Amino acid sequence: MPRWIGAAVTRLMKSAGTLGGPAGYPFVVYHGEVNQDSDGPVEVCVPVKVGQEASTEAAVRQEPAHHEAAVRLRKAQVAFPQILSAYDAVSQWISAKRLSVAGSPREVYFTDFGSAAPTDEVCDVAFPVRSA
């Protein structure tokens, strides 16, 4: 999975360059569980400016504006299965605050994961939320 995500981000960053460049950090949306028995589906995204024409290399869709509940992780915490505790923590926080999940969870990568040290902050685990 990490190799696939890295390759997809590289390809999508190149496509974003044809649309004026990325307009935000790349993120991975988990529309289903990824484990020994299930493989998603999983979507890798690179934000581009609204209204840009789609390239032939990548699909373009507009995600509705939303708030997110998130936790920041260091590179060592991103490894499976350790990362699952971050998803659990955000889910518990959402419940404790009486919010509702409003979309699929995601990992937002805001630095070069490959060159980061194990103690460097590299991503947020986030859930779109709304008031219950």
* Mean pLDDT computed over 120-126: 98
> Cα(36)–Cα(30) distance, rounded to whole angstroms?
15
Mean pLDDT across 27-49 = 88
Share of the chain above pLDDT 70, in %: 94
Q: Quote the CA–CA distance of 53 and 76 in Å, as a whole number.
A: 38
- pLDDT value, residue 50: 73
DSSP secondary-structure letter at 39?
B
Mean pLDDT across the chain: 91
Neighbouring C-beta atoms of residue 92, cutoff 10 Å: 10
Does 39 score more than 90 pLDDT?
no
pLDDT at 118 over 90: yes
What is the pTM (predicted TM-score) of this model? 0.89
